[in-house]
Structure 1
């Protein structure tokens, strides 16, 4: 019985750590953005420039520790490492849940969104299992006692996890779980279906009795049902509080608004363009790859002249900064503006490129993997 429990704990924890690490390693930039949220909450924003590097390190660490636990190699060191990690993350998710500082933990990336309380519950289960493994660490048997094979296993897992993380960082996630994935219709993702359930709210009033000084809190329904409003001794104090009771249907894309420098909304015009068009996403012009911008500028000229294809650059920078950037780089693309959050979700690159047609994402690339003009012509425009 004890052996069965030990094996179950080892396999469950090992597989979950590998899965969690791989899901985040599939999108290290996205995990880095999530870490930046935590850095801001805990007032350690000086770490933000290193967020992506820290994200890749944590992904690799999870995968390696999970694999070594399954292999049974160096059980004392591995269980100690797992215990340290899970104590840290259990504390982190508890703080996030209790104080509502981060709405989504990012434990499984965008593949399986968890609320902070769900994530905390998951970490509590893992904590119990890992404590059990730590107590029984000497009973974990390795699949091989050969030191050379053990080192080879470590090097192999380490190399695969590092290379995979670097690949997805450089050339976009292998699996895209975001609403702007290839084949997605952005206009459809922004719509709320007819008849979909709306959010349900409750209005809370704070009441005070002018005669006795007694105070109470009452919902809007109870306020009307009890007819307390007829009693002149009771008065509403302060502003009513609106509380979400039940979450209704939420559009997959709810925060995308594209405007020009004057604030005019161009979202519908740009997103629903019935012809091929390029969206160049450079959410932060200060950090964007300038060599890539130069190459895209030359491609924009050719595509406009040969195929009358509209190319726009989307950024979250100010119109003033974008104007200076455009002048310095002699940009041919039109510049429009949107919040950084949806731009980061559109494509995990700076700059990244979306090929759109009639609101559908035909394809998208990191600036490192954008095909040549000739390949684009053959694949899309000469057909």
Structure 2
């Protein structure tokens, strides 16, 4: 048990550190996921939505710190009870999502690794078992290094977590795992490849035969038409889901017209994204205006994208003296493209060349 507990403390600790750091790299994205859980049709905790970013930062920093503390053997009793409480809470969330099919991606590993709700649930069950093994045989959990060294290591880890959280909020995630990262082409991301596996659909044909209900299953889609049977109905399930392109909700629309293809063929396009004007950071548009005015002088096409109404975007453009029009795009898509409200991108024939937080707009390079 001594060696098993020794191995598990390292394994669980590294797991929590990696999981936490991936989310700490993108706390805004994790806060969006928490908002999904707080929605009225899920946990009905709408009063927590305004605090979702603060909660997200607390959870991910706490997750990283528990991993560090477990490995070091720091505050053993507090660390183990905290690990149990956290994994029980997340197990409940993933079970609720899976059983009621409420949130289809738990966000456990951000955009780096997508897990289905049931995969997330069973992952948490395994972790819970491993943590309980360490808890019940905690007498074998001997601390590493001296007490002073452990305290200093924990404090340094905490400060580094706070710095990373602040840095990515004031700029953008250090590592971008999304389909809209720099170098990606939007048109290609919306394309279904020729070698994509087709969906497999299971048909469950229900018949009444000799007064008894019978279900006949096939994947051909052809009605089996059994002799003497009266069809009651048919249900379908996907054995293999249809291929979904990484980018599937990107559009550029205005006045009920679709301009997506037009703008994605532009060689020099600057896009300003403000997904929701109700909570956009107005002070950011001063930096944005300097860049967009210069871009227009240098022959760039400049547009804005927002999920807010045309009246709201036109009012914003008037007040901020912006020399470009806003177009409509789905809010979730815009949140995915850039974790800044507003943010700014450069596209060339649909390929993303630059993507910056409004704080860094002055670093935007124009040819």
Instruction: Compute the TM-score of the two structures, normalised by the length of structure 2.
Output: 0.93
Alpha-carbon distance change, 225 to 314 in structure 1, aligned in 2, over 3 angstroms: closer
* CA distance, structure 2, for counterparts of residue 83 and residue 203 of structure 1: 43
> Residues 270 and 295 of structure 2 are in contact (CA less than 8 Å); yes or no, is this contact kept in structure 1?
no
> Residues 203 and 221 of structure 2 are in contact (CA less than 8 Å); yes or no, is this contact kept in structure 1?
no
1:86 aligned partner: 87
Is 1:149 aligned with 2:143?
no
4+ residue runs over 6 A deviation: none
Correspondent of 2:323 among 320, 332, 335: 332
* CA distance, structure 2, for counterparts of residue 216 and residue 327 of structure 1: 67
> Residues 75 and 138 of structure 1 are in contact (CA less than 8 Å); yes or no, is this contact kept in structure 2?
no
1:179 aligned partner: 179
Is 1:301 aligned with 2:299?
no
> Residues 168 and 174 of structure 1 are in contact (CA less than 8 Å); yes or no, is this contact kept in structure 2?
yes
* CA distance, structure 1, for counterparts of residue 195 and residue 317 of structure 2: 45
Is 1:163 aligned with 2:152?
no
Is 1:243 aligned with 2:237?
yes
1:271 aligned partner: 264
> Residues 313 and 334 of structure 1 are in contact (CA less than 8 Å); yes or no, is this contact kept in structure 2?
yes
> Residues 29 and 52 of structure 1 are in contact (CA less than 8 Å); yes or no, is this contact kept in structure 2?
yes
1:281 aligned partner: 273
* CA distance, structure 2, for counterparts of residue 253 and residue 223 of structure 1: 29
For residue 18 of structure 1, give the secondary structure of its aligned residue in structure 2.
Answer: helix
Deviation at 1:19, TM superposition (A): 0.4
* CA distance, structure 2, for counterparts of residue 263 and residue 72 of structure 1: 61
Quick check: 155-164 or 186-195, which moved more?
A: 186-195
1:352 aligned partner: 343
* CA distance, structure 2, for counterparts of residue 201 and residue 29 of structure 1: 37
For residue 356 of structure 1, give the secondary structure of its aligned residue in structure 2.
Answer: strand
Alpha-carbon distance change, 222 to 25 in structure 1, aligned in 2, over 3 angstroms: closer
Deviation at 1:290, TM superposition (A): 1.0
2:15 aligned partner: 16
> Residues 76 and 138 of structure 1 are in contact (CA less than 8 Å); yes or no, is this contact kept in structure 2?
no
For residue 257 of structure 2, give the secondary structure of its aligned residue in structure 1.
Answer: coil
Is 1:227 aligned with 2:228?
no
Number of aligned pairs?
A: 365
Deviation at 1:205, TM superposition (A): 4.5
* CA distance, structure 2, for counterparts of residue 368 and residue 97 of structure 1: 39
2:34 aligned partner: 35
Q: Which runs of 5+ in 2 are unaligned?
A: none
2:365 aligned partner: 376
* CA distance, structure 2, for counterparts of residue 222 and residue 343 of structure 1: 39
| RMSD between superposed Cα atoms in Å | 2.1
